[in-house]
Every structure is written in C-alpha cells, then in structure tokens.
Amino acid sequence: MNKIKNSFIIGLTIVFTLVVSCKDLDDLNVNPNGVDPENADLNLLLPTIITGIGQTVVNLGFGDIAGVMQHTQYDGWSGGHNDYDWDNQDKSWSGYYSILRNIDEFYQKAVEGGYEFHQGVALIMKAYTFGLIADLWGDAPYAEALKAEEGSEYFNPVFDEQKTIYEGILADLDVANTLLSGGSSSYENINATQDVLYAGDVAKWRKFANSLALRYYMRLSAKEPSLAEQGISKIASDPGTYPVITSANDDASVGYIGNSSSDSWPSTMQFEEDPSGTYMRNKLCATLVDALQELSDPRLGIWANKIEIPLVLVSGEDVDRIVDGKREISQDIVDDYEAAWGVGIDYDEDFVGIPPSVFAASQYNLNPNLDQGVYNPHCSQLNDIYKESAGPLLLMRLMSAAEVHFILSEAASYGWDAGTAEEHYMEGIQQSFNAWGVGDQFSAYIGSAPYDGLESIITQKWIASWTAATESWFDYRRTGLPDLQTGESAKRQALPLRFYYHYDDEISKNTENAEAAIAKLEPTQYKGTDVSNNSAWSKFWLLQGTNKPY
C-alpha cells in the first residue's frame, strides 16, 4: 500500500483539487501571487489528477454503490443508497470530465517536454477515468471530448459507442506499457514527492497499466470473449513484457491527509459533529455480515464494531430490560414491534447488519432511538477507524493485487492461458488479507472458503471490494454473481445496471447526441415508470445479448 506521508505535498494536492476540479486549467484566472498554470511544471498537476480519481472511486464504492452491492445500508436519508431511488437529475459525469481536462493538460505538457514517464501516466489516468464513464453510463463523448477550445464544432461532442471507448482504453494502456518499459534512469523530470501514488516508481506504474488492461479485457469477456481471451492470455503468459500487480505492497492506493473535511475520509466525525452524520447512519448490510460470519472472516472485525447491546429472547410477558449488558425481551414485545415496523429481530450477539432495502431501516432490531441516522446499540456500526479523517487503512483503492489474482483465477477457470484458477483464487484472498492487516490469519481461514469455481471467485472478489464496491457492481452485471436480491423498499425489484444520463448536464446541453445514445439502450422488464430508455434498468451495449444479470 502506498500512503501519503508528506503533509505539505498533500496540502498542495488538496488545494489543486479544490481549485481545478471543476474547470479546465486553461480557463483559470491567473493569480498574480501564484503560478500561471500555463507555465507550471506538469508535476504540480499530478497529485490533483490522482486524488481526483481516488476520491471519485471512494465516493462511489463507499457511497451509493456500497448500498447497491449490499456492503452497507443507511438508516437515515437512505433512498439513493439503499433503494437506488435515482433519476435523470442524479449522477452527473461533469466531475469526471473535469478530471479528464486536467489529464489532457498534463498529457499535452508531457508531450511538449518529451517526458515519456508522464505521457504513460497520463494515458493510464485517462484510461481509468474514461473507463469509469463507459462503465457507469455507456456511450459517452470520447474522441471529440476535451476539444471545445478548438472550435464551436466540438461544443456538442458525439457520444462514442461504449465498445469504441473500451477499445481506446486498451490501446492507450498498451502504449503506456511501452512508454514505461525503459530503465528508471532513462526518464526525465520525475518528482517523486508529487507522485502521491507510486512516488515516481516507473515499474509500479507499468504494473498498474497492465493490471488495468486485465480489468477491461475481463469486462469484455461476456460480450467479446475472443478478444478477452487473447488480451488476458497475452498479458498473463508474458510477465516480462506485461508485468502486473501481484502483491498488496504494489496496490494502487492513496491515503488521506485529514486536515479538513475536503481531504478526509468521507465519514469522518472529526469535522462533522452532527450525531446524525454520515458515520452514524452508515451501517453494515446484513448480506455482507452474514457472508463474513459464515466464513469466520477476520476482515469483519476490521470493518465493523461488535454491537454494544445484544438482544436476548426470554420467557414471560412484557419483559424489556437490560441485564448484564444485554437487552432481554419477551416474545410479546417482539411481536408488537414487528407488527408496528415490519422488520424482524436479529439475536446475534456479535455483529448485526441491516437487511437490504427495508422500509424501517432506522427502526431495525428494536432500535430505541427512532430518529433517522442515530446510534443503534443493537446494530453494528462501522469500525471506529471510519470516524477518523485519515489512517493506514483509509485509502483510495484504485486497484489491488487481490483484484488482479481474481481476474486471473476467472480467466484460468475458462481455460485461458492464465495459470491455475485455484492458486490465483487463494492468492487473491491472501493479498486482500495482507491489504487489511490480517495476512497471518489466511491459513486458518482458507479451509472455510475453498475454491469452487466462478461463484467462489466472484464472491471473494465482492468481499475484497469493500470501500471500492463499484468494481463488484460491474462484475455482478456481467455474471449475475453474487446472487443479490432486493428488498421491499427498492425502487425496482432488481439491482440497477447503469446511471441515468443527467438531464441538465448531459441531455439538455447536447440533446441530439444524447438522444441517439438513449435510443440504443435496451429496456428490461424492470424499467418501470421511466419515461424513456434512459433508465438505470436499461442495458447498454456491454450487456445486450448476454442474458446477464437478468
């Protein structure tokens, strides 16, 4: 894991993130007391780019997508998180294109200076960001994006096909691998302190490029299996030419500085004293808790606290009392509560999660505090580390060795040239354990989680994606695994498949091209009341014809 160690540099990072995240650097007014972006060393742009992408990944994977993938549930103000109550005024891609404008500025400066390291890094970051856009929305501006300064003909860029974007991503990553294949001494102008991801380590960036290519080849496996097999086999069979991330020590992860709410972990309570804030209303989901308990998984204790006051069912009537730190209740109390709120009772004495999409999440498990988003002594809060603003485990996790090994395990299970499925599966779990500081417990654990084909791979990959759950959502869409079921309050009785195109930012400003992209979406039986194919329950190209996930 790569942690931020220099407060000054990260303070600078946050300044750049706040200043440029929403504007093209070329459009900034020049501060007479500062540095003109046109003349600034391109290294000063790099931390802005890295942390911009990293915070986006966390805000997705620890935010609403953690709700979709049933890692967490909110017990207050929960509609978008628990129930995917989204529409065409949610989830704009404008922030993603702001990051891309910074990347484009960085890349142009790298080309002008002849800096091959920086060119390779820019292509990786470009691929990562465009990959998220294609994964989340489908067709999107690509070839004509970022060109508004070249003339009015680019003010309304064409939405490229999702397939075209993926092909471009893979091409850029291949070029990045070549650009980063030289010896460290052959590169110029590397500033290790500004590279908050890999401290200027060219070899690690190269591994990141090829690991990301593995991700996208596997993304295409259901739709373009021949291309996926060829690409993964090429990388897996030639580690000298295509090195990848195989150890958690090389994970693409960045820490937080924690000096303010904007540069801190999103559920920090150090800058948010409201007891109904993000930390308090964010509980583990019962789906994840049950899976981890069944496996006696030590990561559960890293991610969640044990409940403060267990519930105990006792005989008698009208019994509701605290005895020796436990709340004793009689069946008539339980029956009345269940009838009033429509939620059941979980008597587990260690960890209790909230079931997915229940109407009374705030009232779950006899919560004595019936306001939204408050402490529930009978449910598991997240571990206390998630109250903090920074820490060794509070990382923006862009990509991990665990994910790489699970991709190779899946590829091997298909008979592709990727090694042994079981060995990669076990190594994926080991590297996830290493990343979360419980590596020494792997041997005692693996007997309860043996390799058993695709379902075991995807289940473990889903678990390992904690705080980066977006990647598990993308796996679910192409495999239907894990077999997650929605709850009664969900907007639809199936998990969503994509983000709506945002009306204000994406449709009204570029109507003709947006409508052409929407026309290519394929509605499913869960489209419901959405007035067009622009639905979170419509299939884009990647899913059409695959019969997945439904």
Write down the pLDDT at residue 39: 60
The model's pTM is: 0.93
Residue ending a domain, choose from 205, 235, 263:
263
Contact call for residues 388 and 394 (beta carbons, < 8 A): yes
Contact between 212 and 126 under an 8 Å Cβ cutoff? The reply is no
User: What pLDDT is attached to residue 6?
Assistant: 41
Q: Are residues 132 and 259 in the same domain?
A: yes
- 317 and 252, same domain (yes or no): no
Sign, CA torsion 380/385/388/390: negative
* Cα 67 to Cα 240: distance, rounded to the nearest angstrom: 40
> Does 247 lie in the same domain as 136?
yes
Asked whether residue 221 is assigned to any structural domain, the reply reads: yes
- Residues 166 and 235 both lie in one domain: yes
DSSP E strand stretches across 338-432: 395-399
Q: Give the DSSP H/E element, type plus range, for residue 49.
A: helix 46-61
- Domain boundary at 387, 413, 438, which? 387
Contacts 24+ apart (CB under 8 A), 521-528: 521/138, 524/494, 524/497, 524/550, 526/492, 526/493, 526/494, 526/550, 528/491, 528/492
CB of 277 within 8 A of CB of 457?
Answer: no
Q: What angle do CA 169, 173, 178 make, to 5 degrees?
A: 150
Residue 17 lies in a domain: yes
Question: Domain holding 202: CATH number?
Answer: 1.25.40.390
Q: Considering the domain boundaries, does residue 438 fall inside one? A: no
Q: Burial of 508 by CB count in 10 Å (0-12 exposed, 13-18 middle, 19+ buried)? A: exposed
Residue with tokens 């690991």, as numbered in its chain = 211
288 shares a domain with 259 = no
Amino acid letter, residue 117: F
Each residue's pLDDT, cut to its tens digit, for the chain (550 residues) gives: 444 434 333 444 444 344 333 333 333 233 333 444 456 689 999 999 999 999 999 999 999 999 999 999 999 889 999 999 999 999 999 999 999 999 999 999 999 999 999 999 999 999 999 999 999 999 999 999 999 888 888 999 999 999 999 999 999 999 999 999 999 899 999 999 999 999 999 999 999 999 999 999 999 999 999 999 999 999 999 999 999 999 999 999 999 999 999 999 999 999 877 778 889 999 999 999 999 999 999 999 999 999 999 999 999 999 999 999 999 999 999 999 999 999 989 999 999 999 999 999 999 999 998 877 788 999 999 999 999 999 999 999 999 999 999 999 999 999 998 899 999 999 999 999 999 999 999 999 999 999 999 999 999 999 999 999 999 999 999 999 999 999 999 999 999 999 999 999 999 999 999 999 999 999 999 999 999 999 999 999 999 999 999 9
**Which among 199, 202, 183, 182 is positioned nearest to 191, based on CA atoms?**
199
Q: Are residues 148 and 252 in the same domain?
A: yes
Q: Mark whether 233 and 337 lie in a shared domain.
A: no
| In a domain? residue 548 | no
Residues 311 and 350 placed together within one structural domain of the fold: yes
Structural domain includes residue 106: yes
Is residue 238 located within the same domain as residue 315? Answer: no
C-alpha–C-alpha distance, residues 148 and 163, integer Å: 23
Residue 405 domain-assigned (yes or no): no
Last residue of a domain, one of 263, 290, 316: 263
What letter represents residue 413's amino acid?
S
Element holding 101 (H helix, E strand): helix 94-113
- Report DSSP state, residue 504: I
- Scanning the structure block, which residue is given the tokens 């499913």? 524
Angle between helices 46-61 and 116-136 (to 10 degrees): 20
3-class SS of residue 393: coil
Q: Is residue 433 part of a domain?
A: no
Q: Are 330 and 181 found together in one domain? A: no
Contact 84, 68 (CB under 8 A): yes
Tell me: do 32 and 132 sit in the same domain. yes
Question: By CB neighbour count within 10 A (0-12 exposed, 13-18 middle, 19+ buried), where does 546 fall?
Answer: middle
Q: What contacts 24+ positions apart, CB below 8 Å, involve 324-330?
A: 327/366, 327/377, 327/378, 329/366
Whether residue 205 is found in the same domain as residue 258:
yes
What pLDDT shows up at residue 371? 78
Residue 12 lies in a domain: yes
SS (H, E, C) 141-158: ECCCCCCHHHCHHHCCCC
Could you give the number of structural domains in the chain? 2
Domain with 209, as residue range(s), is 7-263
Q: Which of 537, 490, 498, 542 is nearest to 70 (CA)?
A: 490
DSSP state of 505: I
